[in-house]
Structure 1
């Protein structure tokens, strides 16, 4: 993984809307999901929770391997896809 550090930007939260979880900006008066970040599945919820605890990308992969009994390659792919969405949505600050 090419990302060394990762931190959720202030004000972004995981919110339940209509029975589904999505990422939102807490100051959003429309209470809507962020563009380009549709509902988040169980794996995404787990990874978000780990990010809130301050996990590094490598720790996210290890946590996913342990939690979901995935092989490392599949966990890296899942984490990479999730982080790419967060980065593109400007939800996180990161360093390479």
Structure 2
């Protein structure tokens, strides 16, 4: 994993809309999901909660290995894809 540290930007929350979970900006009066991330699956929800508690990318990978009984490479790919979506949506700050 290339990223050393990630942090959710202030104001972004996980919200349930119409029976699905999505990421939203709490100041959004339209209650819409962040562009590019219409909904989040169960794994994404778990990773989001870990990020809220300050987990590092490596800790997210370790969590997925234990949770889903997958190997390091698959967990790293899943975490990398999730974090890339958050970076592209400008939801997290990160350092390399």
Count of matched residue pairs: 96
| 1:16 match: secondary structure | strand
Deviation string, structure 1 residues 64-86 (Cα, Å, up to 9, x no partner): 11111111111111000000000
| Pair 1:52-2:36 in alignment | no
Name stretches of at least 5 consecutive residues in structure 2 with no aligned partner: none
SS in 2 for 1:83: helix
Identify the residue that residue 82 of structure 1 maps to in structure 2. Answer: 82
Superposition TM-score, scaled by structure 1 size: 0.98
In structure 2, how many angstroms separate the alpha carbons of the residues matched to 1:6 and 1:78? 15
Runs (4+) of structure 1 moved beyond 3 Å?
none
1:20 matched residue in structure 2: 20
- TM-score, structure 2 normalization: 0.98
Deviation for aligned residue 1:46: 0.5
Secondary structure of the 2:80 match is helix
